[in-house]
Structure 1
Amino acid sequence: MAEPFSTAAAGIALLSNLKHLYIYLKDLKDSIKSVHDDVDALQKEVLSVQELSESIEQLRDRLHRRPSSNAEQMKQLVGLSKPLESMSADIRLCHLKLRDVYGADPKRGAWESFKERNKYKDVEPAIHTLRSSISNNREKIMIWMQSINIGKLDFVYEDLMIKLTNLEKANEAAKALTHNVKRNEHFAIPKAVESHYLGRDIELSDLEEALWPKTQVQNHQQKRNVVYGVGGSGKTQLCGKYAQKFLNRYWGVFWIDGASEDRLKSSLISNVAEKGGVGKNHEAALHWLSNQDEDWLLIIDNADNPNVDLVDFFPQGANGHVLITTRNQDCTYGNIGSMAFSGMHESDTNELFVRVAKVAKSPENKQHMSDILKELGYLALAVVAGSTINQGYCTLEYYLTYLQRVWRGKLSERKSSGWSHNSEKAREGRVEAQFDLSPLAIKDRGTQAIKRCDKQDEIASKDAPELLKTFAYMHREKIRFRFLKVCAENARKERAQNESDTRLMSSTTHSWSQYLGQHTASTVLPDVLRAANAIGKLDEDRFLRAMTYLRSYSLVSYDEETESWSMHPLIQRWAREGYEYNPGEHHVWCIAAATLISSCITLTEDSDGDEELMRQLWPHVDAVTERQDALNTRITENRLGRNKWYPIMDWEPKPHLLQMFAKFSKIYATVGQYGKADKLQRDVHCALETMRGYEDVRARGMTIFWARTLWALGKADEQANLLEKLLDNCMRIFGPDHRETHVASIKLADARLQQGRVIEARTLCDRSVPGLERLCSKEDKQTLDALNIHAMAIPVDWARIMSPDHVDTLESRQRFYAASFWDGDQDSHREAEQGMSEILELLEKKLVPEHPLTLLSMLYLARIKVELRNYDGAQKLFYEGLPIAERNLDKDHMGILFCRYHIGRMRVRQGLWREA
């Protein structure tokens, strides 16, 4: 009789686990208020299994009262206990996962609840697994119970056994398929699907059928689908929901920004290339994806620009799925069809509005909601923004009156400025007018705070619009909390540096970056950041209160994993173009965004080393410079329109702007965007040379900074000419035996080496290295740099001054080991091989493979391997590095020619004369 007891034990365990899970889900729902559909569905399924458990209890009691030794019944009881145990174990695991993520007591306050919703993605796989287990095991349990109850009815029993056998075979096949499919390894989307997402089930099903058809076709090809429609209609959310729902069907899910060609390239690098460890090149990212055998999903979001040819950004080959979202209904890139998006289904929109606005489903409210949703075009984003009702700014009854009044004012203003009218713009305009209610509501909350003497809320109501306007000119994704904190900390560092420089103004032995840093950044910043800069620390509570205001009206969304905020494209465009109509006002907030970004970087000697921060800032620099150019063009056109009879005067560049451009160029140089760095540095150098001349340390420093970028671009002759001019001016101003003259001489020696003029480079070093050692200490940065170039540096000195993994330390060690090419024996070659391998590994982590220093390290290591007769190892490095260099540099770049030359030398040593 062991089998009935084991069945009873399994049933009791199941009932206990169900009870605990149901109570926990109820508490979680009460806490978060707006729970994801899957949690609601799971709660209902748990309730249904509880009812099934009660039937099992009744069956157990009946068997206990009338025990049987029938072998067939024993077999049936064993069969019943297995799905009971399986389901009980899955329920227990899901409950433990929920407790691990949300804690033992899921009841939280408003801010905690907001964070709980962001944690949903951590428990989503466990919830899906449990729902699948309930679905499979419930049918098995019901079949076994029917079999036990029917008992001696053999024909029914046999029919049930056939069903059960088929069901178990299907289950085993599903398990085998699950084990064969690799777990998702890469999931890079900018933000989680909103917790109040609902509807679009038909579209989601259609998308699944298009990408995963039940009847497979013979011609295997890459599948591409276009989702097009008006802004704010939910295109992006649908793709996000699809990616989350079918996550485990894909080895990797990648999301890129299709707004422009530059955005496509930069997001391919940050979201694809870096995940694959292939560096900072968009072509390398596409090449990496095209060579994957597993299924992957690439989402190209907001591909609205018809002048951008997306064909260049599709991975080659027949593998993978591509989803494209666009407002352009003529987009023709879909090879398996397209999907038109406008408003949501009326029933779904009603449900969403009730959830967000938190209004009762009364007959009195039904007509008001119908009128409002019709006016909003049933757009998902507009309905979500209807949280102004929930915030108490206006009532449901008068909401439409407010909305129409604001829209009429906006339309009148736009018509007076020559705005062209069409149906789509009118529809989006109504949405933008609805957004206009949000800042009015925030202002009203500030007024109420003044009345009740709540200083904190009063300040938050002023900070929130300023932050919104500033973020509107940055990249719309991943505006990181870190940026705000670093901005304030750097202000303190730069003030301390300026005070130190003021005391040493008579000395000319300080770097260009310190002097350029004397001119502090523009004070055009949101007030919360100006206050933070004044004390050198961000008031985090004040900042987060302001961001809570913006979140409460769905103007921004928060990603807990990256501690960053994002904005929907339509909201960001409204905040940038629809919020204010004065180009001068736009210019102020664009400068504020640029100042925030540039303040994250310092130009002090010890400011290098945070390559990760540079990579995070890169898309924001791209966005703000693009918008600066557009605004400058617009302002210039307006000035020309007003002043037709006299020329427009451009005033002298302001020092803080030159400082800003220098910082932007530093970011571009760090991420390998040397073309953009060159353009900015060329402009800054020209301005400093014209205004200040080489007597000014900033002009001399900018010359050296720019020369390094020219070296990376392979412009050796222009680099050498620039540095030769610098040396001539230093000789004229300071004479031959001065620190500045020796520094310029060493930099020119480095350039001569790149040109292959080794004798001249050695002559310059022989004269200037002793001079620097005499005038400065041997641990001075410039002295060590000179010894580096002279190929005699001691790496330990750099490691003590900087850090063992600092780029300057690694470059010093690289030059030291390179000396073994000329002077070393086999033992020193082996030591150099070990050291250079370590350097290469560190540089690939810090600077990625595309960086010139990394490529140079690969070349040096390959040359060492040739000396050691390890031709296979050398060939592997040569043929790994050469394609990367050819993708990123000009084909006649000196580094590429140098690499080919050494491949030829290796072939000579191998006796492969024709190939050599």
Structure 2
Amino acid sequence: MLGHHAAEDMAVGKISEDLQHHKIKLESKINSLRSSIRGSVDSNDFTEFLDSANAVASLVRLNKHFYMPQNVSSYYTGRQRQLEELKTTLGVLKSRERQHHQRRFVIHGLGGSGKTQFCCKFAQDNRESFWGIFWIDGSSYENAKHSYAEIGKVGGVESNENAAKNWLSSIQQPWLLLIDNADDPDVDVTQFFPGGEGGVILITTRNPTNRRHGTEGSGFFHFENLEVDEASDLLLAAAVFPRPWEIATREYARKAAQILGYLPLAVIHAGKAILERLCSLSEYPDYYQRTWDRIRRSRSRISSRGHENAHKSDMSVYSSYEMIYLGLESKDDFESKDALELLKVFSFFHWENIEFEFIKNAALNPRREQEDRRAKKRSEKPNKTHSVPKTWKKTFEGWATSVIEPLTRPGLVLPAVLRDEDDQPFYEYRLRGALSLLERLGMLTSHAENDSYWMHPLVHTWVRQRPETSTAEQALWCQAAATVLAQSIFFKPPDAYTLQDDYLKRQIYPHVENVRKFQAELNARFEENLSTRGWPWSMTWLTPRASFGRLQATQTAKFSLVYLNCGYWAKAEELQIQVKDFVFSRLGPESEPGIAIALLLSNVYAIQTRNNEARELQYQVLRYAKSFYGPKHPTTLHIMDTLGATCNMGTRLREANQLHQEVIDTLSTLEGIGPNHESTWTAVENLAKVKLRYLDTELAIDLQSQAYEGFLNLLGPKHPKTLVAQLDLADIVGFRGEDHLEPSLRTIEELVYHFTKKLGREHPLTLRSKLTMAKIKIALNMFEEAEELFREGLPAAERNLGANHLGTLTGHAWRGHSYWRQGRYSEAQSVFEDVMKKQNWERTKRADGEHSDRGEIYRYSVQ
């Protein structure tokens, strides 16, 4: 309220307008004189004269009116760069010159991001550049009218909006107007602008569409959060920690600020809690969690005065979010209801990078899968002796799509805006409208570069953990979030969506992680509620505690594919074991779904180089397949070929050779398949790897070349199987002789670029291609470049594959080989000794305790 501030600065009120004009002229002449002689005169007397003149001029102050909504905090910190930039952008130093248009600038961002404090700080720092500084409450038309009425009183005109605007428009002196909290998307902020060309206007808003009203420079600043050091400094200042701050103190402050998303208002409240000794700085993370637990569980007033203050302190941070939330709840239109449901779902995702594409796919994919299945069924030829053989992945996908209940059953928990049914089709514009509303309200921020949205961590926490939200409702929306994620990806994508599906599986990984984490937390709370006060039986199916059924199996299987696609083998294995146990208990192992899930799981074992476990399970699966399909069925032969590859990895070369040769011979003569088929070429490629182990390099190159050409003709140059076959061929040919090194390197460089772009820098295939590149570079004596690849690739391999994974160990072995080639023998010996430790090979060794790769590394060490 303007009436709460002093009417005017008394020191200024006694100075006539003429004296002020003289003061301005004096300042101008002093600055001109200083500029004209700077660098040419070195006179102490002249410097003293200028200082005295400036001192006299400073007694004549320009500012007469100063009204801001709040005082600048004594511990205000941060945003210094933006303060200086805004001063330059608005031409503050030229504020007394005639303007040709009204200057406006917008500060937008989340509630609590320090927008108002920033503007007050700017006004305070530049007070003497403006004759008058005023403020209006832009949260509603009524509040703005009331603020303008107060300005009218100051100007000695009628106490109403129009009179106040006309008065501001007629003022010749420079003035600054802050339009604060212009957040409501239904309020047209332009109606608050005085007319004319004069004045400077700052607008604070949560609504990003108001950015268009800025006229100077970029037109706006987007306030998200403070920099790490700015936030930690603000927290320590608010907690009145004595300076200088020690390193340990700063580290504790950084951890506390990180929890709060570096949001200024939340950081200040944390500092106050520490100042009031509600907790220590080091205890703040635990205190924050305890406070949330108390807020979540409490339904009555907190009796303890200390706890009541803590409750109010924390609640005040979220009050603006709560008002927006309640505003959406109170409205009865579709857009508000859709926005609220999306907000609840998003609160169980990861708070950043919520891509529009995967949200849309959650609505469209079930129908796409149905149409794809119908199209393929129509195209199938009748009376085939054998169906086309499937890879383990296709077998699994086919089973999952047909046997496990699809995620399209009536009553499934899903936001209304994402339903795509005959009586309620999905409309993209409706989804865009709901997201746009959340953005205008400041609850989401959009990122145009990848068409994604994010929530500030505090908003994310608040929406999910509001005190009014019961555990049952949380379970409901957590399940809705899981459903959206599961529907956003395919078991088997139609051809038109394959690349997009692979990309989205990588993008939704953090969201899957968050949903699973919250499911575990809800499960623990559910158990507690069940034991203490009971639970509504109708809600139990929404919780992780519910019996593992078809719906849970579907989502679990899809999430395992996300982990598999991202290279998180152990997590994929964990989920697939759950699905396998469910399928075996319901349908038995000698069934199509039982064979599919067991084969998928065995491949995950093999990917982790747990060859003994993989081989044992695959022999079981082969027995199941022979009994269920028959010994010459394509699926049985595919399992046999997979088993051969696992035997090769475990250096059981004779078994591997026999299995692959039998598969090739049988598939080549099988009706409907023949020698020129993807499955046949896969077996040929696997046989090439066995021949390479036998050191029959020429035959290995011949077989690998045949496989590569076969994939190239059948699948095209960009298919993953073609690219992997090309990588394997370049790896073998590169060491055939010096003449082949550089051509192989060029091929591998192209493949590294492709895998990095399509799969990411840390995907196993990318790491494998970089290892191959490093091997070639070592052979070409390009040791520095090879070392750079090792420095980047080995930590990534240890993170994603594990320190004892065969691929990781192989990478370290080649690093040791590089040292040996350079004559760095002690470093090479250290690497080899570490790699050769027995425990590193426990899961890959043969019954005799050895492994051919370990023997190869031993040969490097003794050279």
TM-score, L = length of structure 1: 0.55
Residue 354 (structure 2) aligned to one of 479, 499, 507: 479
Cα distance, 1:745 vs structure 2:
1.4
Residue 837 (structure 1) aligned with residue 837 (structure 2): no
Alignment of 1:633-648 (within 5 A): 633-639=524-530
Cα distance, 1:302 vs structure 2:
11
Residue in 2 aligned with 1:697? 592
Alignment of 1:354-369 (within 5 A): none
Residue 724 (structure 2) aligned to one of 805, 811, 815: 811
Q: SS at 1:226's partner residue? A: helix
Alignment of 1:704-723 (within 5 A): 704-723=599-618
Amino acid at match of 1:238: P
Residue 683 (structure 2) aligned to one of 786, 790, 795: 786
Residue in 1 aligned with 2:208? 115
Residue 192 (structure 1) aligned with residue 142 (structure 2): no
Cα separation, partners in 2 of 1:857 and 1:590, compared to 1, 3 Å? same
Q: SS at 2:339's partner residue? A: helix
CA RMSD of aligned residues (A): 5.9
Mapped to 2, the partners of 1:614 and 1:845 lie a distance apart of 15
Cα distance, 1:574 vs structure 2:
4.9
Residue in 1 aligned with 2:758? 846
Residue in 1 aligned with 2:550? 655
Cα distance, 1:564 vs structure 2:
0.6
Q: Could you give the per-residue CA deviations for residues 347-387 of structure 1, whole angstroms, max 9, x where no partner exists? A: xxxxxxxxxxxxxxxxxxxxxxxxxxxxxxxx9xxxxxxxx
Q: Is the CA contact (8 Å cut-off) linking 1:843 and 1:854 kept in structure 2?
A: yes
Q: SS at 1:722's partner residue? A: helix
Residue in 2 aligned with 1:464? 339
Alignment of 1:172-571 (within 5 A): 192=224, 203=234, 206=237, 224=251, 226=253, 236-238=262-264, 329-332=279-282, 411-412=299-300, 423-425=309-311, 428=314, 441-446=327-332, 457=333, 459-500=334-375, 509=388, 511=394, 512-518=396-402, 519-521=405-407, 524-532=412-420, 538-547=426-435, 550=438, 555-556=443-444, 558=446, 563-569=452-458
Mapped to 1, the partners of 2:255 and 2:821 lie a distance apart of 60
Mapped to 1, the partners of 2:429 and 2:253 lie a distance apart of 43
Residue in 1 aligned with 2:516? 625
Cα separation, partners in 2 of 1:227 and 1:878, compared to 1, 3 Å? closer
Q: Could you give the per-residue CA deviations for residues 371-426 of structure 1, whole angstroms, max 9, x where no partner exists? A: xxxxxxxx9xxxxxxxxxxxxxxxxxxxxxxxxxxx999835999xxxx9765346
Mapped to 2, the partners of 1:845 and 1:108 lie a distance apart of 49
Residue 857 (structure 1) aligned to one of 751, 769, 777: 769
Residue 23 (structure 1) aligned with residue 102 (structure 2): yes
Residue in 2 aligned with 1:245? none
Q: Is the CA contact (8 Å cut-off) linking 1:18 and 1:46 kept in structure 2?
A: no
Amino acid at match of 1:751: T
Amino acid at match of 1:859: L
Q: Could you give the per-residue CA deviations for residues 695-735 of structure 1, whole angstroms, max 9, x where no partner exists? A: 44333333343333323323222222222222222222223
Cα separation, partners in 2 of 1:757 and 1:425, compared to 1, 3 Å? same
Q: SS at 2:207's partner residue? A: helix
Amino acid at match of 1:604: K
Mapped to 2, the partners of 1:108 and 1:704 lie a distance apart of 67
Which consecutive residues of structure 1, in runs of 5 or more, have no partner in the other structure? 8-13, 52-105, 129-188, 243-300, 304-323, 342-378, 380-406, 447-456
Q: SS at 1:564's partner residue? A: strand
Q: Could you give the per-residue CA deviations for residues 188-216 of structure 1, whole angstroms, max 9, x where no partner exists? A: x9x7259xxxx9999499599999x9x9x
Mapped to 1, the partners of 2:423 and 2:678 lie a distance apart of 31
Mapped to 1, the partners of 2:312 and 2:123 lie a distance apart of 43
Residue in 1 aligned with 2:628? 733
Residue in 2 aligned with 1:572? 461
Amino acid at match of 2:810: F
Residue in 2 aligned with 1:603? 491
Mapped to 1, the partners of 2:215 and 2:652 lie a distance apart of 60
Cα separation, partners in 2 of 1:819 and 1:124, compared to 1, 3 Å? same
Mapped to 2, the partners of 1:810 and 1:713 lie a distance apart of 22
Amino acid at match of 2:340: P
Cα distance, 1:769 vs structure 2:
2.5
Mapped to 1, the partners of 2:816 and 2:808 lie a distance apart of 13
Cα separation, partners in 2 of 1:192 and 1:802, compared to 1, 3 Å? farther
After alignment, is 40-49 or 494-503 more displaced?
Answer: 40-49
Cα distance, 1:680 vs structure 2:
0.8
Q: SS at 1:236's partner residue? A: coil
Mapped to 2, the partners of 1:548 and 1:904 lie a distance apart of 55
Cα separation, partners in 2 of 1:445 and 1:814, compared to 1, 3 Å? same
Residue 771 (structure 1) aligned to one of 666, 669, 677: 666
Cα distance, 1:628 vs structure 2:
1.3
Mapped to 1, the partners of 2:353 and 2:569 lie a distance apart of 24
Mapped to 2, the partners of 1:424 and 1:505 lie a distance apart of 71
Q: Is the CA contact (8 Å cut-off) linking 1:693 and 1:699 kept in structure 2?
A: yes
Amino acid at match of 1:497: D
Cα distance, 1:665 vs structure 2:
1.5
Which consecutive residues of structure 2, in runs of 5 or more, have no partner in the other structure? 1-31, 37-92, 132-188, 193-202, 689-703, 830-860
Cα separation, partners in 2 of 1:501 and 1:120, compared to 1, 3 Å? same
Amino acid at match of 2:806: M
Residue in 2 aligned with 1:745? 640
Cα distance, 1:604 vs structure 2:
1.0
Cα distance, 1:867 vs structure 2:
5.5
Cα distance, 1:513 vs structure 2:
0.6
Residue 893 (structure 1) aligned with residue 805 (structure 2): yes
Q: Is the CA contact (8 Å cut-off) linking 2:681 and 2:711 kept in structure 1?
A: yes
Residue 613 (structure 1) aligned with residue 504 (structure 2): yes
Q: SS at 1:719's partner residue? A: helix
Mapped to 1, the partners of 2:99 and 2:280 lie a distance apart of 54
Q: SS at 1:578's partner residue? A: coil
Q: SS at 2:253's partner residue? A: strand
Cα distance, 1:579 vs structure 2:
3.7
Q: SS at 1:689's partner residue? A: helix
After alignment, is 762-771 or 541-550 more displaced?
Answer: 541-550
Mapped to 1, the partners of 2:739 and 2:425 lie a distance apart of 53
Residue in 2 aligned with 1:83? none
Q: SS at 1:25's partner residue? A: strand
Mapped to 2, the partners of 1:626 and 1:477 lie a distance apart of 16
Cα distance, 1:516 vs structure 2:
0.8
Amino acid at match of 2:643: L
Amino acid at match of 1:580: T
After alignment, is 37-46 or 700-709 more displaced?
Answer: 37-46
Q: SS at 2:328's partner residue? A: helix
TM-score, L = length of structure 2: 0.58
